[in-house]
Amino acid sequence: MSKLFPKSSNRLPLQIIIFLMVFGGVATAGVTYYMTPKYTRVGYAPVQPVPFSHALHAGQLGLDCRFCHSNVEKSGHSNVPSSQTCMNCHNQVKKDSALLAPVRASAETGEAVPWVWIHATPDHVFFNHAAHVNRGVSCVECHGKINEMDVVAHAKPLSMGFCLECHRNPETRVREKGDIFNLDSQTIAEKSGVEAGLKFISDWKIKPPESCSGCHR
């Protein structure tokens, strides 16, 4: 009777185990790399109904963020501006531009301009803009250098790990009151060292929550 299995098949179980380990490692690496907001959200730059350039308005002209996002200091929600805000200037500047037609139509009819929401959080995340910008956290920490973006792109992952990194070390991220809306400013820690940052969070009694219910309700 001939042998049913050749001798080399004795090594097969070990080879299968090694292959599964290698394959498992590669698959884990793939999931880690691709299935987090660092891949799925960073770089998201949808085409907006009006090609509004933050680089021109907030960067070159130096308009304050709050000129348009006027509720950011008062409300948990930082508003997309009303079309009347655009018309404050664009009733005189480029008032016949075809690119601005959706804004003019909105200002006349009251229908909303269908802006595409970029920095969206899941519904179980409660992020309060006012609580952050009034306590030393600049726009740039989460949104990146919007003042240099012609087309706004999702710059930071805004994942839970991203939030917690700052909530655990607020002293490295806080800015002085006058620097919050200056996206080119430096943090207190960058300006005068982490000690000054620690003093700031102690003086301002900044205690970012790390408990679940701090952000999830």
Chain positions contacting another protein, by CB under 8 A: 15, 19, 22-23, 26, 30, 33-36, 38-47, 61-64, 66-67, 70, 75-77, 79-80, 82, 84-85, 87-89, 91-94, 110-112, 122-124, 151, 153-154
- Would residue 24 be called left, alpha or beta, if left means φ above 0 and alpha means ψ between -120 and 50 degrees? alpha
Distance separating alpha carbons of residues 133 and 164, to the nearest angstrom? 17
For another protein, the closer of residues 145 and 199 by Cβ is: 145
Tokens of 61: 């002209």
What b/e sequence results for 81-95 when a residue is b if at least 16 CB atoms lie within 10 Å of its CB, and e otherwise? Answer: bbbebbbeebeeeee
For another protein, the closer of residues 37 and 190 by Cβ is: 37
Q: How far is CA 145 from CA 32, 41, 59, 179, 184, in A?
A: 26, 16, 9, 14, 8
For another protein, the closer of residues 62 and 161 by Cβ is: 62
Question: Smallest distance, Å, CB 190 to another protein?
Answer: 23
Question: Smallest distance, Å, CB 123 to another protein?
Answer: 4
Question: Smallest distance, Å, CB 205 to another protein?
Answer: 21
For another protein, the closer of residues 82 and 169 by Cβ is: 82
Distance separating alpha carbons of residues 156 and 42, to the nearest angstrom? 6
Question: Smallest distance, Å, CB 187 to another protein?
Answer: 21
